[in-house]
Structure 1
């Protein structure tokens, strides 16, 4: 922390407030935006990586084994798929100055290193090919938006896996066999989809507040030429709007999957009711056939000496 605070003072012009520093280091902080006159704070929750999902699974298994409930826990017999467990997101924090970007990532996160390697390679290509179009970010805010856009793209990539898993559960739910045993898995899927929707709504709110701030940025802080500064500000707003549109797509898909799961449950119970009605109609028909026979059997089976039709000569 002291080294980063010194860098913020030297390159950004102001150290981070203690409250903002605590927000950047929090693992449970929701997606959020806050701004000062010198820097902006953006907290964005990304999907858990496969390595983080594996660590969480091993930790949960160790906790279950330690408590020793006797027998294999239901969660171990019916594990949640990785696509759903990845929705247990991680917080990434950004402190965006005019000339400095501080990003705080969870341990084991490769996002920052990936971007550093990519832009070092782009810078090398730009130097070797003089005059070519540069792919380097124009400002710390541009770099932060590119990193956030990569995180949102991982949400978009998750859609196919979620759709495939929900389709499997729906197929099991709609089979003629009335014994559906995956209710726990279906409830887990619906709960994780609701969590995904909440995450995206928080991201939308944070991005909208940041967009409003970007639109009010003073041009003098972006470039000396007013025309160039205005172009840079417009480019930042466009990129932020693009991120927001991607989040909209994730929200729409999560709601559609949640609605499809709810519809499948309703169809399942409707089919169950229809099968019950068929069984009752069959039992009614059988009863209508055998009830008169029971009547005749009871009537002629009575031990009376003088009863019509029981004697023949």
Structure 2
């Protein structure tokens, strides 16, 4: 729990009474219905029944609702413990009341660890309002989602090499389709989160400085970038699949073309062999001493001539 006042950030114990001046950030772990026990005296935070259930819902989509007492936001951040083949997000609840911002995150979610350390060390400026604090926190969450781009790009680049490598058949279709589905879901989530920010800004009753207005617009642009990247990767996966099957189709056509050429070459040879195999009394070359050798040479010459003609016309 941090208290921002007089240009600095100080920690305070949950047993201390909530400061009446400055900006207060209560960073709580959503471990169960007893999460309110972490609140300091004087916080006077009473949630509506539906919001109480929403706090504990780990699958809750992005959401915003304004009440007379507080603003309620649900924002989904990147789950750093998930595999890049199946990236997941987890919800963070934001409650704004007067000069206080409460964040409720899952156990093990360390999204704000570095930001908290920087504030306490005095490395960065401190927020001067609840809206400014909310922007800083949301910016960290969105930066975590932006960080997903590089590992996904590397993964798709590796899959592209494998899909086009005929010596190493690609068999990870389930992982590829799972990633595509997750990216499609992420794109929809970013659109919902953008709506959350826009709705909150429209209904916010506090003062917005011009600088803060610009920073929130930048935040919205970052959210759009995450959604755009997810959509681009969906298209990249679709293109990879199409290229893979096109390459396989081309290879199959080449094999069938080769087999058709071989069949076309051997068909006249079979005709020639069948002709000399007819059991008539008088056949050319049969009475000659070198008739068999001459017949064999005719077959070979005909085969070579057909092969040369097919090669010249690029039929094989």
Considering the TM-score relative to the shorter chain, is it more than 0.5? yes
Residue 100 in 1 paired to residue 100 in 2? yes
Q: Does 1:153 align with 2:134?
A: no
Structure 2: gaps (5+ residues) = 1-32, 290-316
- Structure 1 position 140, deviation (Å): 2.0
Whether the 8 Å CA contact 2:187–2:230 is kept in 1: the answer is yes
> Separation in 2 of the partners of 1:273 and 1:112?
50
Query: Which has the greater radius of gyration?
Result: 2
CA distance in 1, matches of 2:38, 2:251: 72
Q: 1:149 to 1:84 in 2, by over 3 A?
A: farther
Which structure 1 residue ranges, 5 or more long, are not aligned?
54-81, 126-133, 223-228
1:110 maps to what in 2? Answer: 110
Deviation at 1:93?
A: 0.3
| Secondary structure of the corresponding residue to residue 84 of structure 1 | coil
Aligned mates of 1:292, 1:84 — CA distance in 2: 56
Taking the aligned partners of 1:139 and 1:84, their CA distance within structure 2 comes to: 39
Q: 1:169-224: CA deviations, max 9, x gaps?
A: 0111112437322323322322222232122122122122112223xx2xxxx4xx
Contact preservation (8 Å) 1:8, 1:100: no
- Give the deviation of 1:164 after TM superposition: 0.5
Per-residue displacement from partner, 1:45-70 (whole Å, max 9, x unpaired)? Answer: 111123xx4xxxxxxxxxxxxxxxxx
Greater RCO, 1 or 2 (C-alpha within 8 Å, sep 6+): 1
**2:267 match:** 291
- Equivalent runs, 1:162-173 vs 2, <5 Å: 162-173=152-163
Give the match for residue 119 of structure 1.
Answer: 119
| Equivalent in 233, 238, 241 of residue 265 of structure 1 | 241
Distance in 2 between residues matched to 1:185 and 1:30, nearest whole Å: 24
1:200 lines up with 2:176 in the alignment: no
Q: Paired residue for 1:44?
A: 75
Structure whose residues are more often helix by fraction: 1
> Does 2:126 match 1:136?
yes
Shift of 1:288: 1.9
For the 8 Å contact 2:162–2:168, the answer to whether it is kept is no
Contact 2:162 2:169 in 1 (8 A): no
**Maintained 8 Å contact 2:112/2:140:** no
1:83 aligns with 84
Report the Cα distance in structure 2 between the residues aligned to 1:103 and 1:194, rounded to whole angstroms.
27
| Root-mean-square deviation (Å) | 2.7
Inter-CA distance 275–49: structure 2 relative to 1 (3 Å threshold): closer
Residue 99 and residue 201 in structure 1: after superposition, are their counterparts in 2 closer, same or farther (change >3 A)?
Answer: same
Cα gap change, 1:107 to 1:7, in 2 (>3 Å): closer
Q: Report how far residue 256 of structure 1 moved.
A: 1.4
Structure having the larger proportion of residues in strand? 2
Matched residues in 2 for 1:113 and 1:286: separation? 69
